[in-house]
């Protein structure tokens, strides 16, 4: 039986133009329905503003506890801070109790700064599931229906639901849950195309998204498996959904929304320059400092860190993604815990960017780019009608600098060409280099040897961070 997951598509193929219509439900219109997903710990007002500046069509707040709102928790209220840039934006709440969800929805409506209310019925985080909320509600789909009906009756704002295709294959199917949501009166639904028990692992099941879209009359936004600009038109074509929602693919890469717009128009996506990357890093960090300072005002309990320190600590996972693929990133991350001011972080970022400018700003090699380089350096060219013959490359400097030829390194560690290609694709040091088999493991020491040997063999500058994807 074939896996009905995300269809394969080549990043190199030119994309044909695809029309993406504005998404409308009740009085809400999302002109460009490529939207930012709600992510706990990431999609605060600072990050949302950066994504909106780079083309996100709409935003959701972080997952906000209905019980926290009900109990007047100051920590919970900070998740509901919005800016003018955020619109259209949904107040995104989770909970199990019908009464708590109704009270939270009414509070959000009274704030007067949200365009609609979104009910979370798909968060797989253990803290939420343990309380019977989030994804746990998919075990009791009738409870989802009760919550939607009660919230719809209590507020005038449009109401949507964010869910998944199911908690696990053992519980009611995706169509039953989606139909309950629609029948209860929801105005829109967004669906992550993985089971909650899988979190973000494995391929997203776009076929189930297609079935949901064909079954429902309300707008459907698809989520899951959207990592590149080309994935947006691919999902739309495969599923027919009314919009797409990007989560982890936007962390450290807010340009993905602009790139999706280009991909949908059949145009090549622009890659941000190092200068543009620096500008966004600094803008995001300064927005975060401002947000942290504003949320500290009026707090009952004094914060452990001042706003700048708190913002810099919160920014760490974002910075790791912003610098992904750049030389010097590893060294910066090792020192990150000591950086507690904007000045020190930006000084470290500048060092990383300068190092990459000196090297011509070249990105890490892709799997496809690495393959011929490895083959050329270790095996030489194939003779017509003959298999590739081993050829030892001995650069003049290799003995002087104590560097072994690449073929010798590969022989010593039992490596083949496909091992190096797989390692480039799979990534981290000490990870198995080929999924689905007992692959070779490339330690940092081996990666250093390979980088030096390739540099001497080809005359180009190679580093482990260019050859291997350090996440």
CATH code, domain carrying 349: 1.10.1200
Q: Is residue 121 exposed (0-12), middle (13-18) or buried (19+ Cβ within 10 Å)? A: buried
- Quickly state the pLDDT bin for 259 (edges 50, 70, 90): very high
Q: Both 249 and 281 in a single domain?
A: no
Residue pair 296/278 in contact (Cβ under 8 Å)? The answer is no
Do residue 326 and residue 232 come from a single domain?
no
Q: Are residues 103 and 218 in the same domain?
A: yes
* Domain contains 8: no
What is the structure's pLDDT at 458?
Answer: 58
Residues 246, 278, single domain; the answer is no
Residue 388 has pLDDT above 50, yes or no: no
- Report the Cα 22 to chain-centroid distance in Å: 23
pLDDT of 471 reads 38
Report which of 147, 186, 171, 148 is spatially closest to residue 28, judged by C-alpha positions.
Answer: 186
Does 7 reside within a domain? no
Percent of the chain beyond pLDDT 70? 71
Q: Which of 242, 264, 286 is the last residue of a domain?
A: 264
3-state secondary structure the chain: CCCCCCCCCCCCCCCCCCCCCCEEECCEEECCCEEECCCCCCCCHHHHHHHHHCCCCCEECCCEEHHHHHCCCHHHHHHHCCCHHHCCEEEEEECCCHHHHHHHHHHHHHHCCCCEEEEECCCCCHHHHHCCCHHHHHHCHHHHHHHHHHHHHHCCCCEEEEEECCCCCCCCCHHHHHHHHHHCCCCEEEEECCCHHHCCCCCCCHHHHHHHHHHCCCCEEEECCCCCCCHHHHHHHHHCCCEEEECHHHCCCCCHHHHHHHHHCCCCCCCCCHHHHHHHHHHHHHHHHHHHHHHHCCCCCCCCCCHHHHHHHHHHHHHHHHCCCCCCHHHHHHHHHHCCCHHHHHHHHHHHHHHHHHCCCCCCCCHHHHHHHHHHHHCCCCCCCCCCCCCCCCCCHHHHCCCCCHHHHHHHCCCCHHHHHHHHHHCCCCCECCCCCCCCECCHHHHHHHHHHHHHHHCCCCCHHHHCCCC
Domain end position, chosen among 243, 264, 285:
264
**41 class by beta-carbon count within 10 Å (0-12 exposed, 13-18 middle, 19+ buried):** exposed
Instruction: Give the number of other CB atoms < 10 A from CB of residue 53.
Output: 16
> Which of 208, 209, 196 lies closest to 133, judged by CA?
196
Q: State residue 467's pLDDT score.
A: 62
* 123 is annotated as an active-site residue: yes
Q: Is position 10 within any domain?
A: no
Q: For the whole model, what pTM was predicted?
A: 0.74
Same domain, 317 and 251: no
Q: How confident is the model at residue 75 (pLDDT cuts 50, 70, 90)?
A: confident
Chain-centre distance for alpha carbon 186? 27
The answer to which of 18-22, 172-176, 202-206, 358-362 has the lowest mean pLDDT is: 358-362
- Which residues in 79-99 are b (16+ Cβ under 10 Å) and which e? bbebbebbebbbbbbbbbbbe
Classify strands 59-60 and 89-94 as parallel, antiparallel or unpaired: parallel
Count of structural domains within the chain:
3
Does 182 share its domain with 306? Answer: no
Say if residue 226 is in the same domain as residue 288. no
Do 339 and 373 sit in the same domain of this protein? no
Confidence of residue 438 (pLDDT cuts 50, 70, 90): very low
Token couple for 455: 């540099």
Q: Is residue 36 part of a domain?
A: yes
Question: Is position 282 within any domain?
Answer: yes
Considering the domain architecture, whether residues 73 and 190 belong to the same structural domain is answered as yes
- pLDDT surpassing 90 at residue 437: no
* pLDDT in the model for residue 421: 54
- pLDDT tens by residue, 399-428: 333 445 666 666 666 666 655 655 554 443
Note the pLDDT of residue 389.
37
Q: What is the CATH number of the domain that holds 184?
A: 3.20.20.70
Confidence of residue 18 (pLDDT cuts 50, 70, 90): confident
Q: What is the spatial distance between Cα 176 and Cα 142, in angstroms, rounded to a whole number?
A: 10
pLDDT at 116 over 50: yes
Tell me the average pLDDT of the chain. 81
Predicted pLDDT at 103: 97
CB atoms within 10 A of CB 126: 10
Question: CA–CA separation, 198 vs 180, rounded Å?
Answer: 23
Residue in the block written with tokens 């300068």: 354
**What gap in Å lies between CA 82 and CA 47, rounded to an integer?**
11
Average the pLDDT over 231-250 and give the result: 96
**Domain co-membership, 46 together with 188:** yes
Per-residue model confidence (pLDDT) at position 262? 95
- Give residue-wise pLDDT tens across range 274-320: 999 999 999 999 999 999 888 766 555 566 778 899 999 999 999 99
Confidence at residue 3, expressed as pLDDT on a 0 to 100 scale: 44
Q: Is 462 found in the same domain as 342?
A: no
Q: How far apart are CA 272 and CA 33, in angstroms?
A: 22
Burial grade of 172 (CB within 10 A; 0-12, 13-18, 19 or more): middle
Of 70-74, 326-330, 335-339, least confident by mean pLDDT is: 70-74
pLDDT at 267 over 70: yes
- Is the domain of 217 the same as that of 156? yes
**Does residue 458 form part of some domain?**
yes
Whether residue 47 contacts residue 284, with contact meaning beta carbons closer than 8 Å, is answered with yes
One of 59, 123, 260, 312 is an active-site residue; which one? Answer: 123
What is the extent of the structural domain holding 316?
274-358
Burial class from Cβ neighbours inside 10 Å (0-12, 13-18, 19+) for residue 111 reads exposed
**pLDDT tens across 118-167, in order?**
999 999 988 899 999 999 999 999 999 999 999 999 999 999 999 999 99
Q: For residue 269, what pLDDT is reported?
A: 84
* First-last CA distance in the chain: 33
Q: Residue 360 and residue 241: Cα distance in Å, rounded?
A: 41
**354 domain residue, yes or no:** yes
- Between strands 59-60 and 34-36, the pairing is unpaired
On whether residue 6 sits in a domain, the answer given is: no
């Amino acid at each position: 039986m074939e896996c009905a997951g995300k269809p394969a598509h080549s990043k190199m193929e030119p994309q044909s133009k695809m029309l993406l219509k504005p998404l409308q439900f009740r009085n809400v219109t999302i002109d460009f329905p490529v939207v930012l997903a709600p992510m706990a710990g990431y999609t605060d007002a600072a990050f949302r503003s950066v994504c909106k500046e780079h083309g996100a069509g709409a935003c959701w707040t972080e997952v906000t506890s209905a019980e926290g709102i009900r109990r007047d928790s100051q920590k919970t209220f900070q998740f509901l801070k919005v800016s003018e840039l955020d619109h259209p934006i949904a107040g995104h709440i989770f909970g199990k109790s019908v009464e708590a969800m109704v009270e939270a929805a009414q509070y959000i409506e009274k704030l007067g700064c949200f365009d609609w209310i979104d009910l979370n019925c798909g968060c797989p985080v253990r803290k939420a599931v343990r309380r019977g909320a989030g994804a746990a509600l998919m075990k009791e789909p009738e409870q989802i229906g009760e919550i939607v009906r009660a919230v719809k009756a209590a507020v005038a704002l449009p109401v949507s639901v964010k869910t998944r295709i199911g908690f696990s294959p053992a519980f009611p199917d995706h169509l039953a849950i989606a139909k309950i949501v629609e029948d209860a009166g929801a105005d829109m639904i967004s669906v992550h195309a993985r089971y909650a028990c899988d979190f973000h692992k494995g391929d997203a099941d776009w076929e189930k998204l297609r079935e949901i879209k064909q079954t429902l009359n309300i707008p459907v936004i698809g989520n899951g498996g959207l990592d590149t600009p080309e994935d947006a038109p691919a999902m739309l074509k495969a599923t027919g959904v009314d919009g797409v929602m990007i989560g982890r693919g936007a962390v450290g890469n807010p340009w993905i929304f602009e790139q999706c717009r280009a991909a949908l128009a059949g145009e090549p996506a622009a890659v941000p320059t190092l200068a543009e990357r620096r500008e966004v890093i600094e803008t995001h960090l300064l927005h975060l400092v401002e947000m942290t300072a504003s949320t500290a005002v009026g707090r009952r309990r004094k914060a452990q860190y001042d706003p700048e320190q708190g913002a810099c600590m919160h920014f760490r996972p974002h910075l790791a993604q912003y610098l992904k693929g750049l030389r010097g990133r590893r060294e910066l991350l090792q020192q990150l815990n000591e950086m507690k001011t904007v000045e020190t972080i930006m000084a470290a970022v500048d060092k990383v960017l300068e190092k990459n400018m000196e090297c011509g700003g070249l990105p890490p090699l892709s799997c496809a780019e690495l393959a011929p380089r490895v083959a050329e350096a270790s095996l030489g060219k194939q003779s017509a009608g003959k298999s590739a013959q081993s050829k030892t490359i001995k650069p003049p400097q290799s003995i002087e600098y104590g560097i072994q030829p690449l073929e010798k390194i590969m022989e010593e560690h039992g490596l083949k060409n496909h091992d190096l290609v797989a390692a480039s694709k799979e990534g981290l040091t000490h990870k198995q280099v080929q999924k689905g088999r007992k692959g070779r493991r490339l330690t940092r020491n081996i990666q250093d040897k390979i980088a030096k040997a390739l540099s001497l063999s080809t005359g180009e500058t190679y580093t482990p961070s260019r050859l291997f994807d350090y996440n």
